[in-house]
Structure formats: C-alpha cells, structure tokens
Structure 1
C-alpha cells in the first residue's frame, strides 16, 4: 500500500471512530444534549480535526447514509465481474448490511434522530435517490442480458429494491432476533427475482 493510500485509510478510520463515538454519546444522552466539545474529548481529537471530517454536528447522523453510498460504489466495482445480476446484487447488499450489523441499537438511535429533523430527512431522501441511481445500470444490464423481464423498467426495479432494502433494515432493527439482515434481504431478493426474471432465465435456473 502506498503512503497516500495508507494516509487515506487512516483518515477513513479516524472519521469512522469519531462517528461511532459520537453515536454512543447520542444514544446515552440524546443528540441535543451532546456538544462537539464532548465528542472531541471522548475521541481524544482536537476540535479542528472534528470539523475537518464533519462540518456540523448534524453531519454525523448523515454519515451512515453517506458511508453506505461510498460502500455501494466500491462494492459495485468489486463485484463487476459476477455475470449473474441477482448474485451480484446479493454480494453488494451483503457488503452494505454487514457494515450496520454490529450494533442494532446504535443504528436504531441514529435513524430515530434523523427522523426527528425535517432537514436531515430531506438530505437523507437525496441519498436514497442517489442509491437508486447507482442500481439502475445493474438492472439495465440484467434486462439487456435477458435475466430480467423487459416488462419492468430499470428505474422501477431499482426503486423497488431500495424499498425492500429499507424494509429489511427497519424490520431487523425492530427485531434483531429475526436473523442477520443480509440473510433476510437475500431471502427477499429470491422472492422478488422469481417475479421479475425473464422466462428463459427462469428455465435456465
């Protein structure tokens, strides 16, 4: 790994550390009751370092969604060689859901804080739109390859799958005992694919 790559990796690790420590404080005391000074003190970093990564305290809450978009882009590139789109999507969503599978209560606290703010909800909606946009080319490829029925458009399918992703996420947060979120989504994707797969593709499966 080059010095530049190592430096970037350390930056990402520090940002994630600040993010997780801040979430723990929010969970314990509530978002409004935690100051930036308290976050930096808990992390052992200077206030200027905090603002290098997060321009305002609210930006911490958006880091979950922003981080998922970054991870989604990386995962799409990583699994580009998988020819079957269903299998590729399963790998991609496993990557996404593994990131948030460590502490369901912490994730729940984050999402609840976002939902309390109309401004944050508006910004989160923009991230959801970006999420859908990144999935559209995958479904366009699936349609062109005869893996998915052309009765559905790529934007429709991307929007539907994002909805299933959030349903899986929220239902898992409500009851983590249901199982790992990646496994839950994989089961949902099997059901979806049975309905959208092209006839020839079904016969080959």
Structure 2
C-alpha cells in the first residue's frame, strides 16, 4: 500500500471516529449544548482538526441524514424489485422515516433547519445530503410511467412537494408534539397529498 492510500484510510478512520463520537455526544447531552470543542476533545483531535472534517457542527448531522437516506433508498429499491406496489412502498418508506425521526427526536430539528439555512451554500449542501425527494421520485416513477400520476406537474415537482411536506410536518411534531404519533401524522399528511397527486379516474 502506498503512502497516499494509507493517508486516505487514516483520514477516513479519523472522520468516522469524529462522526461516531459526535453523534453519541448529541444523543447524550443534546445537540445544542454539545460544542465542537467537546467533540474534538472526546475524539482525541484538535479543534482545528474537527473543522477540517466538518466546517460547522451541523455538518455532522448531514452525514447522519445521508446514512438514513441511503437506507431508505435501499428499502425502496428492494421492495420495488420484489414486486411490491409503489404506493405500498411509499408508505413503508414513510413509516421507516417516521420511526427513525421518533427514535432520534432531538437530532431531527437541527438537521431539518439546516435545509432552510439562510446561508444558500449551507442550505444547498443540506439539500444534496438529504435527497428524500429523489427516493420518492424513484418510488412514484412506475405510477408516472403508467399514467396514474397527474401530468400537469412534473414527477420531480410532485416528489419535492411530498418531501417538503414531510419536513414541515415532522418539524412541527418534533417541536410541539401532538396527540398523534409522528407515524400517524405522517400517514395522514401523505394520504392528503396523494389524493391530489393521483389522477382521478373518470366516472
């Protein structure tokens, strides 16, 4: 193994260590109260080294969110390949995401807020790290090809609207809570959205 490959592997291991330590600290002490200095100290690296890997604290959460999106995409691809109906798959992915957000209720708000960061570059980075709309688009594409989805809106726009709705409903639930579980809130929101997204059969 040449020296450059060794350095890259060392960097990957260091980044993974910082990430895992940071997520543990966020879960134990809360995202807001955990500082970059806390993470660096617990990871046995300097504060400057932390910022070399993560330019701001929220960037750690983008790695977490990206992992969640990868799992959702894998679930969607597997279920579609097994012949499951697209709408069934969409609800299964919706439920899986709601379950994840319920388990990690304290991590979701700062992650979601990053998508709406007033800094355009940070908002763009967050949007690219959390491609929920792409997963939804993958699931709905068979319905679009069969002509069962509205044609006055593009599939991309429909998928974006569904993903945006998830974001806002989950944020409100995380911040204020309701009598219903997030699982129930998200199913209600998705049902309402799909009534507008699916083409009505003529009678």
Is the TM value for this pair above 0.5? yes
For 2:152 and 2:113, the matched residues in 1 are separated by 37
- Are 1:121 and 2:123 matched, yes or no? yes
Q: CA deviation at 1:69?
A: 1.7
Correspondence for 1:66:
66
Q: How does 1:65-144 map to 2 (within 5 A)?
A: 65-80=65-80, 81-109=82-110, 111=112, 118=119, 120-128=122-130, 130-144=131-145
Question: Which residue number in structure 1 is paired with residue 25 of structure 2?
Answer: 22
Aligned partners of 2:21 and 2:39 also within 8 Å = no
CA distance 1:113–1:189, change in 2 (3 Å): closer
Q: Tell me if structure 2 keeps the 8 A contact 1:97–1:181.
A: yes
* Counterpart Cα distance in 2 of 1:28 and 1:163: 24
Q: Distance in 1 between matches of 2:165 and 2:97?
A: 13
Q: Size of the alignment, in residue pairs? A: 180
TM-score by length of 1: 0.69
**Quick check: 165-174 or 104-113, which moved more?**
104-113
Q: Is the 8 A contact 1:132 1:159 kept in 2?
A: yes
- Distance 1:29-1:150 versus aligned 2 partners, 3 A rule: closer
CA distance in 2, matches of 1:88, 1:173: 24
Instruction: Spell out the pairing of 1:5-16 with structure 2 (5 A cutoff).
Output: none
Give the TM-score normalised by the residue count of structure 2: 0.70
- Give 1:101 shift: 0.7
Distance 1:29-1:94 versus aligned 2 partners, 3 A rule: same
What's the RMSD between the two structures over aligned residues?
3.4
Q: 1:185 to 1:26 in 2, by over 3 A?
A: closer
Mean alpha-carbon deviation: is it higher for 154-163 or for 112-121? 112-121
Higher helix share: 1
TM-superposed deviation, 1:34: 2.4
| 2-structure distance, mates of 1:151, 1:117 | 31
TM-superposed CA distance for 1:112, in Å, is: 5.5
Alpha-carbon separation, structure 1, partners of 2:115 and 2:137: 26
User: Structure 1, unaligned stretches of length 5 or more?
Assistant: 1-10, 41-45
Cα distance between partner residues in 2 of 1:113 and 1:136? 22
